[in-house]
Structure 1
């Protein structure tokens, strides 16, 4: 099944909801970065939530989410946009531990319980919108829940989960974001809290074959959900050889000459997708000529 997400409302428009299946997308990230199991779970949760947050944007707007805890995994970065494209990486992909006391991957230990979660949105304005909150648990979902409540003043419940196979490939990945809209009464909020508290692990539901539609139906009931949109989700990077050439060009003539003299070429690796780009000596000579003009 291809990855996709749904945008929906429930309880007569008093609640906004998103649900996603992201198994293939997270597997692509795992394959590119060679992440170990706990690192895969941390990166997968961050990318899954970021993809849903990207779906809240419009046009060619985009956002970058950064989880910087004091754990061994280092920073986790995810980029997403309004079209369902998402990419991400972790500073230290080779992090793994024994399962925690709940029998789950110990994401909090990998991420750390101190640090910051920041979200930068490029909304096409002169200045980007930036929101930042402290990490509250390192479990990612709870941290984004705290972000929405404190940085965007939107009471939300955020869930994301990743299951990893013994061979380290991704077995299942998915998530949901549920947000209470202004004017929702206590009855709606209480009903929602009850549903979410007793809700099964999202990764288990995905593994059992539940679609995003079925996840929302389990949350709200079949009669209370209105689907407003469906968006394909995929790991997609924006890097290209042209971007590398522009970056090299920006270094100036002398620096390009140094690359020619010392390395007889240039090599650049994209953080987000690990694609490697090579520039030959001749290509550098051509760029050097352009730098003269």
Structure 2
């Protein structure tokens, strides 16, 4: 198993925790979208969060969308995840380049700047659940911590990290989400806050080759961690030529006929995985015939 999520409880189920290693799926996203280092770090963090949050959903058909609309040069990000922790996503401006932050890190906060985060859960009901929060730092982990506290009233600690190699490939990626249950007692809360405050950064743990199990043991070892299961996670897009054809049909017969009259095949790109689909003149003619 390459990338995977570990789900666990601690302190007699007063704490629930998720940790993930996501290097391969983030590298897949970087490669598919030809992302700059700071865009890789931003999208990688959101994909990492999406994988864990997707795995929290109950039904196999449930879908999660994390959408960031922002004023920074990255332009915005969108990630979707299913209950099997398959994730996909894209950024509006994959080429964004920025100088390092004051700490010498990739400046994700400046790439996003001001904005809002939407958390959309489609659980097969009439309307999807939509939670919205303002970006507090643009660092994504802090923004999700704030989202959980304000929109879901679940005290949480979210840590997300992406480390790059000198050749701009992904060296490490991963993170954790640790949440307090409503019945957690004060002693557990205080002890957990103290422990989380001692962690310098998730990237420092990832850079020590820590697995998700080791990360949870490092953070929650004093609370009696019980690993519940391991879930594989991967970058996976369910697009296909048939699905893209539906998008072409939705343009309308008149517009498709104009494309045919122009005498050139068209290319349609999937936002999420950057796969190119070509439709020849003959295929466009067939689409019009079938849509009559």
Note whether the superposition's TM-score is higher than 0.5.
yes
Where do residues 121-132 of structure 1 align in structure 2 (5 Å cutoff)?
121-132=121-132
Q: Is the 8 A contact 2:19 2:177 kept in 1?
A: yes
Establish whether residue 87 from structure 1 lines up as the match of residue 88 from structure 2. yes
TM-score (structure 2 length as normaliser): 0.96
CA–CA distance in 1 between the matches of 2:134 and 2:222?
A: 37
User: Deviation of residue 100 (structure 1)?
Assistant: 1.5
User: Deviation of residue 283 (structure 1)?
Assistant: 1.1
Aligned to 1:142: 142
* Deviates most, 204-213 or 73-82: 204-213
Q: Is the 8 A contact 2:120 2:128 kept in 1?
A: yes
Count of residue pairs the alignment pairs up = 291
User: Deviation of residue 178 (structure 1)?
Assistant: 0.5
Task: Please state whether the residue corresponding to 1:80 is helix, strand or coil.
Answer: strand
* Deviates most, 21-30 or 260-269: 260-269
Where do residues 173-212 of structure 1 align in structure 2 (5 Å cutoff)?
173-212=173-212
CA–CA distance in 2 between the matches of 1:207 and 1:241?
A: 40
Q: Is the 8 A contact 2:14 2:184 kept in 1?
A: yes
Where do residues 46-65 of structure 1 align in structure 2 (5 Å cutoff)?
46-58=46-58, 59-65=60-66
* Deviates most, 201-210 or 271-280: 201-210
CA–CA distance in 2 between the matches of 1:140 and 1:247?
A: 31
* Deviates most, 264-273 or 7-16: 264-273
Q: Which runs of 5+ in 1 are unaligned?
A: none
CA–CA distance in 1 between the matches of 2:31 and 2:286?
A: 35
Q: Which runs of 5+ in 2 are unaligned?
A: none
Q: Is the 8 A contact 1:157 1:178 kept in 2?
A: yes
RMSD: 1.3
TM-score (structure 1 length as normaliser): 0.96
Q: Is the 8 A contact 1:252 1:291 kept in 2?
A: no
Q: Is the 8 A contact 1:8 1:18 kept in 2?
A: yes
User: Deviation of residue 222 (structure 1)?
Assistant: 6.9
